[in-house]
């Protein structure tokens, strides 16, 4: 028997990052109850043994609740860093010269080791180097083999292994480092649902990751480099989902450039039918405070109004003092926005034209039918999840019940707007489709007597990618009595 679990009372999904404050089974369960639909495991911190325990706790929770729960592993990517300093932190003075070189000796206020030979070939006079998330700014004056001479434009304190951002050029770095490859292998062994690829600059980066994943997980691309945003559609064509990683975007771009880019990435992903996550600093003050600022609340609300599939908490749940309260607040904000009578009208400011396929045409038609007859729910029978993604792209004003014979497909839908995914046995006939659709809608509390249900499936049944049936059914009182 399929276990019943209540649908979330909101469409947008919540992705919570695990860390020292939240990676134990009790806290994971508490975050789930508070509203977390998916969990992010950040490979920039911790070790494989600790991550394996967290993943096992999530799978145990899924078994207890019956609700498919999504796990996303976020690869660190090629993070650029300076070397170390001989006498502790050094003070860089504005207007003075500072050199980055291939010499591995500890640095001082005049120079430091740069352990990234790719940069020596990519940089040219006039290029900016941003150190420590942009707190220090260097301008390249001259580049020689093994030596980069810069002028300090914004000075300050620099210390061991601070990060380096290069916003003005495409650095010829592979998106997957040796560490990433080991972490990816670990993640696939753990049967996680999504892999997030960091610091993507080119479509080739995504193609390489997809080859290594080999269909064992879905692939999300983080847009945090201007070079990646410039090739947004090419990259999204290969990826399964997108993330607006505003933290690193805000380092390499002026802060005022990030909001328009966020809207562009969200709208483009929606048009292409790819789930999109908005992330970073959404409720940042809740790392130390039990309540957010009003500006943060407005920021989260904007992402929901724009139609993001998911919104993410980072340090708020990974290392903050109030992880459960942060999820509860995000859930509350999302529900408030979605109860706004204007919410669905705003969602459809973004036009989503269907592709020239039968499945896309039916998904668009389903959305129209729901509006025309005020249908109470839409039910998708799908093996891969593609039908559900097409329907979700239309942002229908009705619950979306997704029935799939594949548990991994149900888990991956934890980042999909509005989807209530249920693993269940496949159907074999048209009559079984209708009966099962009604039964599942009742079991999961989606509708009651008199409800109109829009059902989508593919014939022959059980064949992925064959969506070609759209049927409207009415749930009668007799069926309700039979179910009870």
With contact defined as beta carbons under 8 Å apart, do 10 and 42 qualify? Answer: no
3-state DSSP assignment of residue 246:
helix
3-state DSSP assignment of residue 448:
coil
Q: How many beta carbons lie within 10 A of that of residue 354, not counting itself?
A: 17
Q: How far apart are alpha carbons 120 and 115 in whole angstroms?
A: 10
3-state DSSP assignment of residue 114:
coil
By DSSP bridging, strand 90-92 and strand 419-423 are: unpaired
Closest CA to 78 of 179, 227, 158: 179
Locus of tokens 């352990």: 115
Tokens (6 digits) for 225: 């480099």
Tokens (6 digits) for 196: 């997030």
Tokens (6 digits) for 112: 């430091």
- The secondary structure of 62-114 as a DSSP string is HHHH----EEEEE------B---BTTS-EEEPTTSEEEEES--S-B-SSEEE-
Burial class (CB in 10 A: 0-12, 13-18, 19+), 200: buried
Q: How far apart are alpha carbons 416 and 28 in whole angstroms?
A: 21
Q: How far apart are alpha carbons 45 and 20 in whole angstroms?
A: 10
By DSSP bridging, strand 136-144 and strand 147-154 are: antiparallel
Closest CA to 4 of 57, 67, 51: 67
Positions marked active-site: 40, 81, 222, 280
Q: How far apart are alpha carbons 48 and 38 in whole angstroms?
A: 19
With contact defined as beta carbons under 8 Å apart, do 310 and 292 qualify? Answer: no
Q: Which residues, 6+ apart, have CB-to-CB distance to 404 below 8 Å? A: 381, 382, 383, 385, 410, 421, 422, 423, 424
Tokens (6 digits) for 326: 């942060």
Tokens (6 digits) for 73: 């592993």
Residue 378 has phi, psi (to 5 degrees) of: -120, 135
Return the DSSP state at 240: S
Give the residue ranges of DSSP H helices in 282-322: 294-305, 315-318
Closest CA to 58 of 42, 69, 73, 74: 69
With contact defined as beta carbons under 8 Å apart, do 226 and 252 qualify? Answer: yes
Closest CA to 408 of 256, 229, 240: 240
């Amino acid at each position: 028997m399929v276990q019943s679990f209540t649908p979330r009372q909101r469409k947008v999904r919540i992705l919570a990052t695990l860390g020292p404050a939240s990676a134990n089974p009790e806290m994971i369960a508490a975050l789930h109850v508070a509203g977390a639909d998916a969990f992010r495991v950040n490979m920039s911190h911790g070790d494989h043994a600790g991550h394996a325990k967290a993943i096992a706790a999530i799978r145990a929770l899924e078994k207890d609740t019956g609700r498919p729960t999504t796990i996303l592993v976020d690869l660190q990517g090629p993070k650029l860093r300076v070397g170390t300093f001989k006498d502790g932190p050094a003070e860089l003075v504005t207007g003075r010269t500072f050199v980055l070189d291939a010499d591995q000796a500890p640095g001082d206020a005049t120079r430091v080791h740069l352990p990234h030979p790719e940069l020596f070939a990519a940089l040219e006079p006039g290029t900016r180097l941003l150190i420590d998330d942009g707190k220090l700014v260097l301008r390249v004056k001259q580049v020689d083999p093994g030596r980069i001479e810069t002028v300090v434009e914004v000075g300050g304190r620099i210390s061991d292994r601070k990060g380096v951002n290069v916003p003005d050029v495409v650095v010829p770095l592979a998106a997957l480092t040796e560490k990433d490859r080991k972490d990816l292998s670990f993640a696939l062994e753990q049967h996680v649902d999504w892999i997030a690829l960091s610091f993507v600059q080119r479509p080739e980066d995504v193609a390489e990751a997809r080859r290594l994943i080999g269909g064992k997980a879905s692939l999300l691309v983080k847009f945090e480099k201007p070079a990646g945003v410039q090739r947004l559609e090419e990259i999204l064509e290969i990826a399964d989902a997108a993330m607006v990683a505003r933290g690193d975007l805000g380092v390499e771009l002026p802060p005022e450039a990030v909001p328009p880019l966020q809207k562009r990435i969200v709208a483009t992903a929606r048009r292409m039918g790819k789930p999109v996550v908005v992330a970073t600093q959404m409720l940042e003050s809740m790392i130390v405070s039990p309540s957010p600022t009003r500006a943060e609340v407005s920021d989260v609300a904007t992402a929901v109004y724009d139609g993001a599939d998911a919104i993410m908490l980072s340090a708020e749940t990974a290392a903050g003092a109030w992880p459960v309260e942060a999820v509860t607040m995000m859930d509350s904000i999302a529900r408030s926005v979605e109860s706004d009578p204007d919410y669905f009208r705003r969602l459809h400011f973004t036009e989503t034209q269907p592709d020239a396929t039968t499945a896309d045409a039916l998904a668009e038609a389903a959305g129209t039918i729901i509006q025309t007859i005020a249908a109470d729910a839409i039910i998708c029978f799908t093996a891969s999840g593609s039908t559900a993604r097409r329907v979700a792209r239309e942002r229908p004003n009705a619950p979306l019940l997704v029935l799939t014979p594949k548990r991994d497909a149900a888990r991956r839908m934890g980042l999909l707007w509005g989807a209530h995914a249920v693993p269940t046995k496949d159907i074999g006939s048209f009559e079984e489709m209708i009966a099962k659709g009604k039964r599942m809608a009742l079991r999961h509390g989606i509708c009651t007597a008199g409800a109109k249900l829009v059902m989508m499936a593919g014939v022959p049944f059980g064949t992925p990618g064959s969506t070609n049936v759209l049927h409207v059914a009415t749930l009668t009182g007799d069926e309700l009595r039979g179910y009870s």
